[in-house]
Amino acid sequence: MQRRSREVDNMIPGVSDPVAAVEAARLCKIYDGKNVIDNLSLTIPVGGVFGLLGPNGAGKTTLMKIMAGLVRPTVGTLTIFGEDAVARKSDLKCKVGLAPQDNNMERELSVEETLTVYGRMFGVPQLKRRVEETIEEFSLGDMRRKVVRTLSGGMMRRALIARTLMPKPELLLLDEPTVGLDPDVRHEIWEIIRNLSSAGKTIVLTTHYMDEAEKLCEKIAILKAGRLAFLDTPEGIRNRFGGVDSNGEALETLFIQLAKEGRT
Amino acid sequence: MGWVAIYRREMLILTKKIGNMGYVFSTAISPFIYLFAFGLGLGDRVKVEGGYLPFLVSGIIGITVMMNSFQQTSSSVSVGKLYFHTFQSVVLSPVGNAAVVLGIVMAGVVRGLFFGALIFVMAWLFFGAGVLGSTGIVGMILGALCFSAMGTVVGLLVKHPDDVSLVNNFFITPMTFFGGSFFPLQNLPAGVGAVAGLFPIGSLNLLIRSSGWNGDSLAAAGILAGLTGAFFYWSVWLYSRYSE
């Protein structure tokens, strides 16, 4: 019965057969004998912003990397848009984009070169035009010739998201996109995320900022020690844990409660 | 044609370095020190058919091709994988496994040949080195392919940036000094000479020094081509199993 309601939740207009963006079933990743992802089953619906929260070491980044194809799961299955993420890894690479927590762009290339090189690797058609579009879309005009290592944190983050979007992925994985940024830059990134969500992209976001999760996400999952500890909508969380505005108060209460449970 | 995208990526990064003359100078300085130190210091004392200087020049060209091809790919992959995480962008791309390896290897070949040619021109200008024959040119290309593919294997295998220096110390340095670059292998004790004869740098040196195609040069070309194939296949296998 629960499965049925999840499927109904996942339906999007124009899609008669509900296919989840991501479906993890009994997923495990073991590093040096430690279960970083521990028997995790989770469904992420198509469209909207899905928040992935949890304390440090909860397995959020590992899960993002598994979804992006950078890490192989030890056990279990993961499907992305209905396709096996391991067996069909190559086919899925154009559909999934990862903007990692740390900058992984070449330090000595300019922003324009970074976009061109990435687009070329993905076989983006009309590459020059796409680069110009992306530069305009992300207001990168002033820094197009700037070398990546000289960019500020906010500019770097914007360029990283822009690069990830060059091949127009359907599923966008943003690993702590606003960590360490000034409030005004955080708001800029939020605006980008909202626009992408409105454009129909499925976005999975990890963050340590509770207000950010409540403001941006339609559904929030909290991981703890590699397991799914909690899954609900921001409204559901507010109803259960108090708070009226999307200021992250209810989510923070829940987060602290879950953390305390682990210590006792 | 995905390999071209990877090759162009590697080349763009490499040209940024080569554009910095300090980088070119520092890369070319070691072979030159060898050339001057051994050429001037030992020139008269090492008896080699055809004279020691032509022997040394060809050996230094071999070493330059080996070191630059190997270092280009091993450091590009290992540093990009372990330190800056820039290799992630390659792994995230839909370019096929063999195409990724080919693109990386070809960039290593270009660097090896660029610096090999640079040292040859310098040796020609300052020491009157003779023109390379077809065996020498084929040897340089095969040697660059072999060591570039070997560097890719090492880059993909290592779990820590320092591991590359272990490979340098245990494989590249012995090959530099015991691979027949500075003196003929016949000068070594029989056992050591036999082991040193197995180094691929020996085949590269033989081809650079060979005056024409014969049984020995064909065998040397076959060894380098075979090793290139083996390292290439190993790299593709390692890349296909890549996981952080």
pLDDT in tens, A213-227: 989 999 999 999 999
Closest chain B C-alpha to A123 CA, distance in angstroms: 8
Asked whether residue A214 falls in the same domain as residue A253, the answer is yes
Mutate to test the interface with A, among B3, B89, B236 (most CBs of A within 10 A): B89
Asked whether residue A73 falls in the same domain as residue A176, the answer is yes
What pLDDT, on a 0 to 100 scale, did the predictor assign at position B162?
81
Centre a 10 Å sphere on the Cβ of residue B226 and count the other Cβ atoms it contains. Answer: 13
Asked whether residue A150 falls in the same domain as residue A208, the answer is no
B131-164 as b/e: b if 16+ CB within 10 A: ebbebbebbbbbbbbbbbbbbbbbbbbbeeeebb
Q: Three-state SS for A105?
A: coil
Handedness of CA B42, B45, B49, B51 (dihedral sign): positive
Handedness of CA A238, A242, A246, A247 (dihedral sign): negative
B14-37 as b/e: b if 16+ CB within 10 A: bebebeeeeeeeebbeebbebbee
Query: Nearest CB to A104: which of B5, B86, B241?
Result: B86
Q: Tens digits of per-residue pLDDT, B71-111?
A: 989 999 999 999 999 999 999 999 999 999 999 999 999 99
B49: Cβ contacts below 8 Å, ≥ 6 apart:
none
Question: Quick check: is A185 in a domain?
Answer: yes
Mean pLDDT of the region B49-58: 88
Helix axes B200-209, B52-82, angle to 10 degrees: 140
- pLDDT exceeds cutoff 90 at A248: no
- pLDDT exceeds cutoff 90 at A263: no
Inter-chain touch A70–B13, beta carbons under 8 Å: no
Asked whether residue A180 falls in the same domain as residue A257, the answer is yes
| DSSP-derived pairing of the beta strands A171-175 and A227-232 | unpaired
Mean pLDDT of the region A29-44: 94
More confident residue, B193 or A62: A62
Asked whether residue A7 falls in the same domain as residue A133, the answer is no
Question: Quick check: is A89 in a domain?
Answer: yes
Residues of B in contact with A118 (CB under 8 A): 89, 93
Structure tokens at A99: 């903007």
Asked whether residue A151 falls in the same domain as residue A205, the answer is no
Asked whether residue A81 falls in the same domain as residue A181, the answer is yes
Residues in chain B: 244
A153-166 as b/e: b if 16+ CB within 10 A: ebbbbbbbbbbbbb
Spell out the alpha helix ranges (H) of chain B: 2-18, 21-42, 52-82, 87-92, 97-127, 134-157, 163-167, 173-178, 190-196, 200-209, 215-240
What pLDDT, on a 0 to 100 scale, did the predictor assign at position A44?
96
CA closest to B244 among chain A residues: A71
**Nearest by Cα to A54 from A176, A154, A218:** A176
In this prediction, the answer to ipTM > 0.90 reads no
Return the minimum-mean-pLDDT range out of A246-260, B85-99, B184-198.
A246-260
Instruction: Give residue A15's pLDDT band: very low, low, confident or very high (50, 70, 90).
Output: very low
Asked whether residue A143 falls in the same domain as residue A185, the answer is no
How many cross-chain Cβ pairs, A to B, lie less than 8 Å apart?
70
Instruction: Give residue A11's pLDDT band: very low, low, confident or very high (50, 70, 90).
Output: very low
**Nearest by Cα to A200 from A46, A22, A11, A94:** A46
Asked whether residue A12 falls in the same domain as residue A62, the answer is yes
- pLDDT exceeds cutoff 50 at B144: yes
Inter-chain touch B9–A121, beta carbons under 8 Å: yes
- pLDDT exceeds cutoff 60 at B237: yes
Q: Tens digits of per-residue pLDDT, A186-195?
A: 998 999 999 9
Asked whether residue A74 falls in the same domain as residue A18, the answer is yes
Say yes or no: B159 contacts chain A, CB-CB below 8 A: no
- pLDDT exceeds cutoff 60 at A156: yes
What pLDDT, on a 0 to 100 scale, did the predictor assign at position A244?
61
What pLDDT, on a 0 to 100 scale, did the predictor assign at position A243?
63
Question: Quick check: is A101 in a domain?
Answer: no
A83 beta partners? A80
Highest mean pLDDT among A146-155, B116-125, B140-149, B204-213 belongs to: B140-149
What pLDDT, on a 0 to 100 scale, did the predictor assign at position A10?
41
What letter does residue A200 receive in the DSSP assignment? T
- pLDDT exceeds cutoff 80 at A6: no
Mean pLDDT of the region A223-250: 81
CA atoms within 13 A on the CB side of B137: 5
Domain stops at, among A143, A168, A193: A168
Domain count, chain A: 2
- Domain range spanning residue A156? 106-168
More confident residue, B112 or B165: B112
Residues in chain A: 264
Task: Kindly report the CATH number assigned to the domain that includes residue A193.
Answer: 3.40.50.300
What pLDDT, on a 0 to 100 scale, did the predictor assign at position A262?
59
Question: Quick check: is A189 in a domain?
Answer: yes
Question: Quick check: is A100 in a domain?
Answer: no
Query: Nearest CB to B85: which of A90, A102, A122?
Result: A102
**Whether the Cβ atoms of residue B183 and residue B52 lie closer than 8 Å to each other:** no
Residues of A in contact with B16 (CB under 8 A): 108-109
Question: Quick check: is A30 in a domain?
Answer: yes
Question: Mean pLDDT for chain B?
Answer: 91
Asked whether residue A84 falls in the same domain as residue A175, the answer is yes
Asked whether residue A87 falls in the same domain as residue A75, the answer is yes
What pLDDT, on a 0 to 100 scale, did the predictor assign at position A236?
84
What letter does residue B172 receive in the DSSP assignment? I
Mutate to test the interface with B, among A117, A118, A170, A173 (most CBs of B within 10 A): A117
Mean pLDDT of the region B131-137: 91
More confident residue, B103 or A237: B103
More confident residue, A181 or A194: A194
Helix H or strand E segment including A26: strand A22-31
Domain stops at, among A126, A145, A168: A168
- pLDDT exceeds cutoff 90 at B150: yes
